[in-house]
Chain A
């Protein structure tokens, strides 16, 4: 599929000298959901702000739907909807008016039926005549989403959409995202929650210190995550894996005091019973057994930790 959003060597140095983005390259395919993971201050919001035109890039190029985000900003921004991280809303305006305003701001002609549909989908229809200040935090977040959807974007940025949101709204949000994806909308969301990335993303990107460390299919990441290791500690050290155990693809642990068996937790048979039987049959005595899982969280933490630099 063609890239609907392409970021090339994007750099952003703020006035005070802080380098928020140091050469970001990223291609987003049309219709996919990309989850951008990263610790605080990694550059997630700066990246989104720069693509959307809120922040100016120091150097680099952004193209949206083939349009240069700077020279053809109208065509580029027309395609983008943004749900910001902070709840920024005019408190005295009604829900209906503020959503209608967003549509107008993007130059779209009035379409009350569409706004009604969006408000209903977001459970905001009953609140349409309320002033924004009368709404709860979760409802305000829904208003932000309604505003972003009001101008029918082809790309939707969700910056930490579920930060401080209750379980119910989070679930609703995931449903909305799934529905948008069915309609062909490309979605880029930033999050701290790895489970969120797991639940809804097609691909996962990890950003740290203004650089993209990896962008990978979630399924292949999940596969890594699904791999589990069983470590069998032996009472006596051995020099090599016995020939009778060769078919199990075992690795020899440190100092020959353990055998490491890698298996897929989601497989129908893990082969653990057979393994233990075979080890006993080979005349080895078990001292202890432990399992270890490489989770997405572990991969993530490993990638973003200072030591991994």
Chain B
């Protein structure tokens, strides 16, 4: 394993993040605050409590998940798409490194950035609502696994994309709706019975539910199933990446 090379990619990717640190930092703080103003204050004042938790606190795990997922995807997809777009990918391909090392560098950096945003949102949220974390270890595990698996998905999207439009397509058309419909801002028990069944096909439901359980101890679906879902998703992404690297699909002609 060429750790020096992994560190070089990781550092190079993080440098991009630090160049725009203020935007990276301000944008989640601002959007979280807006969510609290709109959902927490305006709507939340009419919804008293959800599953014994104040509505403002109830949406915090969903908010974190929403940002972490989109950030992990966009950072990882952009991270590997940009060298393809610029042509600097020649250097990665001609270096004495394996695809696994390339993935570790890019996905590691993207997951780190997403984790940073997640923590920033958690801290921002704590200024608006009283938060207690019932299962801190589980919370960290869920957060890390989400950062990692969605960064892997982002990496796949970045390899697949042939232009900037495609780069935006999956996050906008697939991920955002799934997250919004995945119980981020409501409990699925609030839905009509038929939609409660349908929504179980949405993988994000399991992530949000498990993550919320780590905060409040209540969940829409059993925690073990949540863990299985995110673990399974990570394995599927790893499998796809393994196939990409074996075949050189859309990266090595």
List A residues at the B interface (Cβ < 8 Å).
Answer: 14-15, 49, 52-56, 73-78, 80, 82, 84, 86, 88-93, 97, 100-109, 147
CB–CB A97/B12 < 8 A: yes
Q: Is the CB of A82 within 8 A of B90?
A: yes
A77 to B94, CA, bound (A): 7
Q: In the complex, what residues of A have CB within 8 A of residue B96's CB?
A: 73-78, 106-107
User: Among the listed A76, A93, A108, which residue makes an inter-chain contact with B12, where contact means beta carbons less than 8 Å apart?
Assistant: A93
Q: Contacts A52-B94, A109-B4 hold; do A101 and B87 have CB atoms under 8 A apart?
A: no
Instruction: Tell me the nearest residue of chain A to B20, going by C-beta.
Output: A92
Question: Does B11 belong to the interface (CB within 8 Å)?
Answer: yes
Q: Are A89 and B86 in contact (CB under 8 A)?
A: yes
In this complex, what residue of B is CB-closest to A102?
A: B91
Given A89-B86, A106-B5, 6 further pairs, Cβ under 8 A = A52-B90, A53-B94, A77-B96, A80-B94, A88-B86, A91-B86
B94 touches which one: A54, A89, A97, A103 (CB < 8 A)? A54
- The reply to whether the CB of B16 lies closer than 8 angstroms to some CB of chain A is yes
Task: Classify the interface of chain B: helix, strand, loop or mixed.
Answer: helix
Docked CA distance A84–B93 (Å): 13
In contact, A92 and B90 (Cβ under 8 angstroms): no
Q: What are 28 pairs between A and B in contact, CB < 8 Å?
A: A14-B253, A49-B90, A52-B94, A54-B90, A54-B253, A56-B248, A56-B253, A73-B96, A75-B96, A76-B96, A77-B95, A77-B96, A78-B96, A88-B86, A90-B82, A90-B88, A91-B86, A92-B19, A93-B12, A97-B12, A97-B15, A103-B8, A104-B5, A105-B91, A105-B95, A105-B97, A107-B4, A107-B5
**A15–B2 Cα gap in the complex (Å)?**
31
* Interface pair A104/B90, CB less than 8 Å apart: no
Q: Which residues of chain A have C-beta atoms less than 8 A from B12's C-beta?
A: 90, 93, 97, 101
How far apart sit A88 and B86, CA to CA, in the bound complex (Å)?
Answer: 6
Q: How many residues of B contact A (CB 8 A)?
A: 27
Chain B residues within 8 Å of A105, by CB: 5, 8-9, 91-92, 95, 97
- The answer on a CB contact under 8 Å between A86 and B97 is no
C-alpha spacing A74/B1, complex, angstroms: 10
- Find out whether the CB atom of B87 lies under 8 angstroms from the CB atom of A88: yes
Query: Is B7 interfacial (CB 8 A cutoff)?
Result: yes
**CB pair A104 B94 closer than 8 Å:** no
Q: How far is the CA of A73 from the CA of B248 in the complex (A)?
A: 15
* Chain A hits for B46, CB < 8 A: none
CB-CB under 8 A from A76, the residues of chain B are 96
Q: Which residue of A lies closest to B97 (CB)?
A: A105
Quote the shortest CB–CB distance from A11 to chain B (angstroms).
14
Q: Which A residue sits closest to B10, measured CB to CB?
A: A104
Closest B residue by C-beta to A157: B94
- Chain B nearest CB from A4 CB (Å) reads 16
In the bound complex, residues from chain A placing their C-beta under 8 Å from that of B92 are 105
Chain A residues lying within 8 Å of B11, measured Cβ to Cβ, are 101, 104
